[in-house]
A and B are shown apart, each in its own frame.
Chain A
Amino acid sequence: MKLIPIPKDKYDEYKLTLMFDCYKWDPQYLDHNTVAPYAVVVTKEEHKELVKLIEAIDAETTAAEEYINQHQELIKPLALPKRIRRELHKITNYERDKHVRLKRYDFHPTVEGKWAVSEVNSDVPGGYAEGSLMPKLALDTIGAGDKYWCMNFGEVMVKAISGKVRPGGRIMLVHCTSYSDDRQVMQFLGDRLKEAGFEVLYGAADHVKYENGKAYSILDGNEGELDMVYRYTPLEWMIEMRRKYYKDYYGSTVPTCNHPIAMYAQTKRFPLLWDELERNGISMATWRELLPETLEVKDAKGKEGYIYKPACGRVGDGISIKEACIGNEYKEIMKDVKWHPKKYLAQKRFNPQPLEGENGEKYNVCLGCYTIDGKHAAYYARISKSMRIDSSAADTPVLIEKGE
């Protein structure tokens, strides 16, 4: 893997095009530019190896979540929010083929020349346009279509939805409508779905009502039955809103992405169930190979080289990497870990192999690898000079070497 620069004389136009034609509406975070002046290049061999690992780890996750769903007596170690736990028993008729299952695994190269996975974004992973239009634009900007190619998340997702929703069907893209950062993701997908002939509604979680196994839009001026509910609101937020509307959500067969079954692997405490899963014949071998050792907070006490991660953390925030924390952040996290150990887990730190920029500067990279219905669908990378890849990291397109 390596970084190649976006030509300096083309960078400003590249960034402007990203904002206006590629749904990159958040190009600045505090004092940081979130559009990297680089593209990540994955070699042909690395891509081949990654596809194998991604699909193997995804098969394990899928088998695990379906097993856990059938054996909900096991879920205590996951420490899921109480309100979600209370609803899970309603998932009695989950059929994988009826829904679209999207996940994103965060891969990191290590100094040992291997890969490490830091987590799976199982519930509502983002970065769709960055995994679709951004690499295409980078390819055109660099002018290297003869050397590299790129994947397209949007195409794969639309194809998956088309396989499960009737032609011209009505799809609500459920998101937090107050956040433009969420809307940019939904707008990208909505525009692709409209191109494919679907009717698209943008709405919030409380604009969907489930009744008798069907989903209805109650959005002002857009009422009526829905053929699919595409959810970009995290389940733990959704459950806080209008719970009575969602009493049938968990048991509904209306196609959705992602189904609430995603929560079992979304919690970072998912590895704490692996021993039990393996005792019952579910292999977690690829996960064990890629994920650094993960323990209950109490079991890591006194041990060196562990970091703490919030069980329901997102975009890398709230992780106790001391040198990456700003101000009192590290102290605050550690205080919270002490008071709420069950809301965290301890994970052995791995040694990331940074990539080198054109002036020798070092960047840590997080390679997001999407799967849709079990198949590798796209990449989305973020790079940072910090050890922690969080909201201030820069979005970076991923190109794949064509090879000889």
Chain B
Amino acid sequence: MTDKEIYRIWAPLGKRWSEWVRPVPFVEIHEHSKAYSLTLHDVPVPDLSEDKFKDAAIIVDLPGAESVEAGLAYARLGYRPIPLFNGTIEQSGARTTVDNQSVGMALVEGVKVVRELDLKEEALPVFMLDSNRLHRHRIDVTVFDNSWDIYAHDMPSADYFIKNNIHKIVVVGDFIGRDLRKILYGFQKKKLEIWFAKDDNEPKKIKVRKPLWGEVE
């Protein structure tokens, strides 16, 4: 399969939310220099089947391929999986801060699941992020920094969510990264409810604190 074909399976034409699928990991699939043996597993995810989550979009923010696995778990439940991965591939030969190649490979593997899905037109979105993206610390200045942040402009606006009858955002992850927190704070200001689910615990409604001075985009 070509990179374009893989992308089109994840971002089917004319389907709501597809426009936000970032092409970066797909464009770079042929640039991978590492050999992976990767198998995606069915993983348990927090239960969002209650009625109160009928108007909720999900953001899965887990490390690397785990994020793809959790995204696919929700996709099997009827959510449309939207990869937001945006990290680049390193200069060949250099050590890196983040392994973005493994995410690309997980997306290639995930195609087997996604192409079998028969999602409804009005399927709610599950956005996928790699929580390792924020690994900015370099043990040495010579290391290639391919960490990345998610920005508000990489996602739909709060107004767009509301226009599409989405009033809640559920973050599934181990923590809420500082970059995502900024975006969530903006959503909260626009009256979207923010929920957080860690491991497979029951989601809890949270109040996102105002980003500190200098953190606001």
Contact = CB atoms under 8 A, between A and B. Distances in A.
Contacts of B94: 219-222
Interface in B148-173: 148-149, 152-157, 159-160
Interface string A253-277: 0000000000000000000000000
Nearest to B155: A30
B145 A204 contact: yes
A206 interface: yes
A313 interface: no
Contacts of A183: 88
A94 interface: no
A33 interface: yes
Given A27-B23, A220-B95, A221-B94, A180 B87 contact: yes
Contacts of B159: 31
B157 A219 contact: no
B15 interface: no
A202 B88 CA distance: 11
Contact of B23 (A20, A220, A221, A222): A20
A219 B148 contact: no
A30 B144 contact: no
B91 interface: yes
A222 B153 CA distance: 34
Contacts of A29: 153
Interface in B95-140: 95, 136, 140
A207 B148 CA distance: 18
A177 interface: yes
B144 A203 contact: yes
A111 interface: no
Interface in B1-48: 3-4, 7-8, 13, 19-20, 22-24, 26-27
A207 B13 contact: no
A12 interface: yes
Given A20-B7, A179-B148, A203 B91 contact: yes
Interface residues of A, number: 31
B114 to A, nearest CB: 17
B27 A28 contact: no
B141 A20 contact: no
Nearest to B96: A220
Nearest to A27: B23
Interface in A182-234: 183, 201-204, 206-207, 218-223
Range, interface on chain B: 35 or more
A25 interface: yes
A177 B88 contact: yes
B156 A30 contact: yes
A242 interface: yes
A312 to B, nearest CB: 17
A220 B142 contact: yes
Contacts of B149: 178
Contacts of B148: 178-180
A219 B142 contact: yes
Contact of B157 (A31, A201, A223): A31
A386 interface: no
Contacts of A27: 19, 23
A223 B95 CA distance: 13
Contacts of B154: 28
B146 interface: yes
Contacts of B214: none
A318 to B, nearest CB: 12
Contact of A28 (B20, B87, B144, B147): B20
A27 B7 CA distance: 13
Contact of B19 (A28, A177, A201, A219): A28
A19 interface: yes
Contacts of A221: 91-95
Given A31-B157, A179-B148, A242 B141 contact: yes
A20 B146 CA distance: 20
A247 B95 CA distance: 26
B143 interface: yes
A272 B14 CA distance: 50
A16 interface: yes
Contact of B141 (A12, A19, A218): A218
B188 interface: no
Nearest to B140: A220
A222 B19 CA distance: 37
Contacts of B67: none
A223 to B, nearest CB: 8
A222 B93 CA distance: 7
B178 to A, nearest CB: 14
Interface in A327-382: none
A391 interface: yes
Interface string A18-57: 0110000101111101000000000000000000000000
The 8 A-B residue pairs whose C-beta atoms are closest, nearest first, are A221-B93, A220-B94, A220-B142, A19-B23, A183-B88, A202-B91, A180-B24, A31-B160
Given A31-B159, A206-B141, 14 more contacts: A19-B7, A27-B19, A27-B23, A28-B20, A29-B153, A30-B153, A177-B145, A178-B136, A180-B87, A180-B148, A202-B90, A219-B91, A220-B143, A221-B94
Interface of A: 12, 16, 19-20, 25, 27-31, 33, 177-180, 183, 201-204, 206-207, 218-223, 242, 391-392
13 contacts: A12-B13, A20-B3, A20-B23, A20-B26, A28-B19, A178-B145, A202-B144, A219-B91, A220-B94, A220-B95, A220-B142, A220-B144, A222-B92
